[in-house]
Amino acid sequence: MSAPEGHHLAELNVGRLLAPVDDPRVAEFIDNVDRINGMGKRMPGFVWMMEGSGGPGNTDAAIGGDPRYIANLTVWESVETLEDFVWNTVHRRFYERRQDWFEVLGEMHFVMWWVPIGHRPTLSEALARLEHLRSHGAGSHAFDWAWLEEAELWKRHACSPAAAE
């Protein structure tokens, strides 16, 4: 499904670190969050990122009071621009190694939805979309890569079903 006219693509990705942020087991990830986020902000099609997105210790992005949860909430002009960042930059190498730093959550941890141009979603709004996707499956209110016909790069790089659930 293409973007409705006058809309951008919002995405939320959550993960729970295997260890506290100051633990050497997650140091490589923690040490590169700002670099990867900075690259994303410079990508064509990037619109907005929640402050502290993807970074540890951000109290505004705390999920359930657990400091090991990390939330990344961004808005992009289109599916194609988000895909370009995810799959055609160094971000892909970190994504492919996520099991080195993050727990397998056992449930969907990624959601996308359309937002009116200029809207900046809150973490609460994004978590509600994620819960909707978990409860009702993909649809126009909340969806994943598989729901988007134009998501071409995802089809080549998709994670295994066990990692996505």
With CA atoms as reference, report the closest residue to 164 among 69, 95, 92, 83: 95
Distance between CA atoms of 125 and 133, rounded to whole angstroms? 13
Q: Is the pLDDT of residue 49 over 90?
A: yes
pLDDT mean over 107-116 = 95
Side chain identity at residue 101, one-letter code? W
Q: Is the pLDDT of residue 3 over 60?
A: yes
Could you tell me which CATH class the domain 7-164 is placed in?
alpha beta
Give one DSSP letter per residue of 3-27, joined into a string: PPTTEEEEEEEEEEBSS-TTSGGGH
CB 9 within 8 A of CB 125: no
Distance between CA atoms of 134 and 51, rounded to whole angstroms? 25
Confidence of residue 59 (pLDDT cuts 50, 70, 90): very low
Confidence of residue 152 (pLDDT cuts 50, 70, 90): confident
Instruction: Give the dihedral of Cα atoms 125, 99, 151, 69; nearest 10 deg.
Output: 10
pLDDT tens readout for residues 60-95: 566 888 888 889 999 999 999 999 999 999 999 998
| Domains of the chain by residue range | 7-164
pLDDT mean over 4-28 = 94
